[in-house]
């Protein structure tokens, strides 16, 4: 069976079109930055080489460092990430939080670190629109979060507690 030059051209165009669709499906995550984790600030904030700003892991919230759980989670995240090469998928709809930290999904060897925090019950879901990403599911329940975030640090003397209203 002989192909005419017209049929050959159409076949080549179709082959190129189908190949481009297949290739774009393979690269599902658009990694916008890559670097080595140089510092773990807390369970949901890191620093990477080549970036001046801190990276805030998108979609998750871990207990603060003033809690025993917060300290333990920072230690786990440090063990998992410190010195390792990570890739970032930066939220294109909201690139920075109010503290100018970069909002991103962080990947280690292609695995979603943010999701790992939720699966290990180290974090709760924190979704602040707008975002290019879909909201995570899982993580700490409300009752677990309340238990995890209880402070283990006694307040310093001569400091009065203030109401959180209006803050």
**Catalytically annotated residues:** 56, 64, 101
Secondary structure string (H, E, C) spanning 76-106: HHHHHHCCCEEEEEECCCCCECCCCCEEEEE
Dihedral sign for Cα 11, 17, 18, 23, please.
positive
Query: Is the separation of the CB atoms in 123 and 139 below 8 Å?
Result: yes
Dihedral sign for Cα 90, 29, 75, 156, please.
positive
Secondary structure string (H, E, C) spanning 120-151: CCCCEECCCCCCCCCCCCCCCCHHHHHHHCCC
């Amino acid at each position: 069976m002989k192909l005419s030059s017209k049929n050959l051209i159409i076949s080549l165009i179709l082959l190129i079109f189908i190949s481009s669709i297949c290739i774009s499906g393979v690269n599902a995550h658009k990694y916008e930055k890559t670097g080595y984790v140089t510092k773990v600030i807390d369970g949901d904030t890191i620093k990477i080489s080549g970036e001046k700003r801190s990276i805030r892991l998108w979609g998750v919230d871990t207990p603060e460092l003033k809690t025993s759980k917060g300290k333990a989670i920072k230690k786990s995240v440090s063990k998992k990430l410190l010195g390792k090469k990570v890739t970032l998928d930066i939220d294109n709809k909201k690139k920075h939080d109010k503290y100018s930290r970069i909002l991103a999904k962080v990947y280690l060897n292609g695995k979603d670190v943010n999701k790992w925090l939720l699966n290990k019950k180290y974090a709760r879901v924190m979704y602040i629109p707008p975002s290019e990403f879909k909201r995570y599911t899982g993580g700490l329940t409300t009752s677990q979060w309340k238990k995890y975030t209880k402070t283990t640090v006694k307040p310093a003397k001569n400091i009065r507690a203030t109401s959180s209203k209006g803050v």
